[in-house]
Structure 1
Amino acid sequence: MIAWAGVPGPTTDALPEGNPADLLYLEEAVAALSQIMAVCAGADRSSRTDVRALARAALSVQTDRFTAVSTVLHGWGRPDGSGPASTGVDALDGLDGEALDRAFVEALTAYTHASTVRSRAELVAGASRATRNLAEHAIHEDDRQLADLRDFLRIQGQQIGAPGVHDPVARWNDDGGSWPGASAATPSDRTGARRWPT
């Protein structure tokens, strides 16, 4: 497991080698993390222990990542805006039960794919060693998160006896866009109707 605490902070020699792609990556990361952290915090209202455990594990990684990205931004003399709690919008507000669980898994899957795309773009276009290091760590953590989501969906599919569960990884393009058809987070029954495990 990669520890974000081990990510080197910004140094004075990292500042001259940065470029606009690095700054864009950092600013987009802060905005995306603010939103998904609020979603993960909201998922703690779920009545399901497995959903709450998934949300807490994701929130822990995201909190460390937010701190690391904010540290680099501050080293560049750029504020990261207000903290995640005040800037994040809880997309789960007003939801409960199955609707909350489904919205959480879909939001976490979408965030993780988009984060991977942003991080890969940073490795191609970025110049700052500190920022590229953050991107490399993000890719590793996102891979782990996608594996956790895949396992979660597979287990849920087995519990309801579904013949197959849509793969949230294979159904996404490298550009981070979603795929048409049934939701990645929603298994189907034999009739093709969308089902969510209870």
Structure 2
Amino acid sequence: MENDNNQQLEMLGPKHQIKKVELLRLIIQGLYALDYNTSAASLETESNVSYESSELKRLRSQVLEGNWERCIEILVEIKEYLKNEETRAKALSLILCQCIRECMSRDDYISAVMALRKDFSELGVSQEKIHHLARVLLKENIRGLDDGAIAEMRNKLVIELEKVLPPPIAVPERRLEGLVEMSLESLPTDTFLWNRSFAQ
């Protein structure tokens, strides 16, 4: 446990501004994105670092199980990272939408209404936004979704949440590639030999 804590705090680079854990997460995610799954998994095992945060893993698990109340509880737990209302509202809306669609699919309108009537003040999301969400969902006609369709929708929800949730909860998609491109754009292409080789 002490080694894990030390690794969490370890900083790299000449100016000690790079968190080792965050760098490892970027590398692992990059390997997965390039389909080097075995190498990525090996690095996760060796470093004891996953590119997914523990919070995201818990949220993913609850989404896939359809435990919507627990999903919202996790959002409350990580609200310190959700610094603006727009982010909190978006994440909450995504979860509520899936919850209500599944309720409507099985004609369980009472549960759908109860979900919308819950108090979301801890997330700082206004009731006006919830009412707007309700009006949108009531216009949808979703009936009789089978287990396969629901599972697919839940998987898509996880992907959407990953896009919404900020670091360190979620690593933006293809983040390492984006950072390399930003570096290339900020430096003259003839400054470094490796720069030219990347650009070619």
TM range (shorter): under 0.3
TM-score, normalising length: structure 2: 0.26
More helix by share: 2
Larger radius of gyration: 2
